Amino acid sequence: MAENVKMVEAPAGFAGEGFFATSLDKVVGLARSKSLWPLPFATSCCGIEFMATAASGYDLARFGCERLSFSPRQADMLMVMGTISKKMAPVLRQVYEQMAEPRWVLSVGACACSGGIFDTYSVLQGIDKIIPVDVYVPGCPPRPEQIIDAILKLQELVKTEKMSRRESPEYKALLASYGINVY
Amino acid sequence: MTSSNLDFIPILLQLVFVTVFVFFVIGLSHYVGPKRHSKNKDVNFECGIKQYGNARIPFSVKYFLVAILFVLFDVEVIFLYPWAVNFRDFGFDGLWKMVMFMGLLLVGFFYVLKKGALEWD
């Protein structure tokens, strides 16, 4: 049974008798990546696939996404799953803006990534028109394995992110390009 | 083994330590923590939509009445507990005293019933 369990490797550091020294960025990155609490912004069919992913068969909780929160104040990653209409766009933007840093966005499904097959007057053609996105998941709808793959890719992003990124001018410029002015 | 007042100093120390620790941790997170505000972020969370009006609206007095009557009769029950524990020792004398006590409160209860304070609708 022990062969099937994949253990997390310790980050690169100096180990000695009873202690281990590494950089804070690596430890914080490891801790954050293994405990990303999602905000399931589930709108349509991709939301149903998410429900299957979070349920016992595919079990999202084993990747650290144990506590789903519908409040942005208490969530790390925003999973946008489903068609976002232009009427829903300001709501999505407000929810994203009210999330506490550090925050990441997962765009699940074709509709969230680019509007999907609904190239029409009422559907927003991709959520990256209003909020910055970290990982895109194609599919209509994507299978639970693909959603899990996206979360694993996001975990890699989170693990290697520096703690000072959120104060950096590049990040502030990114947010300013979406009209979010941080002071 | 008799205990003097000095034996309780560790509890006082524990209280002081707990208070200092709580304030220290809250103060530390306030000063060291990052502060990133934006106009929309500081608004109350209302599921992404605009907030309308005040959350404080008048509500029915029946909730208050039920709560306050509960508190009164619960305090009566608290008085009944020592009698229940020492029931045999108090004997008939204790029974008569408790009956007088509960009788007075029963008069109040009948008043409440007749006034319709327990009517829910």
Residue B72 lies in a domain: yes
What pLDDT does A90 receive?
Answer: 94
| CB contact set of A142 (below 8 Å; sequence gap of 6+) | A46, A49, A108, A109, A150
Q: How far apart are CA B25 and CA B8, in angstroms?
A: 26
CATH number of the domain encompassing residue B16: 1.20.58.1610
Instruction: State pLDDT tens for residues A120-137.
Output: 999 999 999 999 999 999
The secondary structure of A78-140 as a DSSP string is: EEEES--BTTTHHHHHHHHHTSPSS-EEEEESHHHHH-TT--STTB-S-GGGTS--SEEE--S
Q: What does residue B116 show for φ and ψ, rounded to 5 degrees?
A: 80, 25
Query: Which residues in chain A touch residue B48, judged by CB atoms under 8 angstroms apart?
Result: 90-95, 98
Residue B121 lies in a domain: no
Report yes or no: B31 at the A interface, CB cutoff 8 Å: no
With CB atoms and an 8 Å threshold, state whether A166 touches B36: yes
| CB contact set of A73 (below 8 Å; sequence gap of 6+) | A98, A99, A100, B45
Average the pLDDT over A93-108 and give the result. Answer: 93
Q: How far is B55 from chain A (nearest CA, A)?
A: 19
Question: Does the CA dihedral A176-A181-A182-A183 come out positive or negative?
Answer: positive
What pLDDT does A118 receive?
Answer: 94
Q: Which residue in A has a C-alpha nearest to residue B46's C-alpha?
A: A95
Using 50, 70 and 90 to split pLDDT, how confident is the model at A71?
very high
What pLDDT does A58 receive?
Answer: 93
Q: Which domain holds residue B33?
A: 5-115
**In chain A, what are the domains?**
25-177 (3.40.50.12280)
Determine contact, residues A105/A76, Cβ cutoff 8 Å. no
Instruction: Mark out chain A residues that contact chain B at CB-CB < 8 A.
Output: 71-73, 90-95, 97-98, 101, 166-167, 175, 180-183
Instruction: State pLDDT tens for residues B29-79.
Output: 999 988 888 888 988 888 888 888 888 888 888 999 999 999 999 999 999
What pLDDT does B18 receive?
Answer: 97
Whether the pLDDT of residue B111 is over 70: the answer is yes
The HSE-up count of residue B28 (CA atoms within 13 Å, CB side) is 6
Using 50, 70 and 90 to split pLDDT, how confident is the model at A93?
very high
Report yes or no: B29 at the A interface, CB cutoff 8 Å: no
Helices (H) and strands (E) in chain B, counts: 3, 0
What pLDDT does A1 receive?
Answer: 58
ipTM: 0.74
Whether the pLDDT of residue A2 is over 90: the answer is no
With CB atoms and an 8 Å threshold, state whether B34 touches A166: yes
Q: Which residue in A has a C-alpha nearest to residue B43's C-alpha?
A: A98
Whether the pLDDT of residue A40 is over 90: the answer is yes
Using 50, 70 and 90 to split pLDDT, how confident is the model at B119?
confident
Number of domains in chain B: 1
Query: Which residues in chain B touch residue A182, judged by CB atoms under 8 angstroms apart?
Result: 36-38
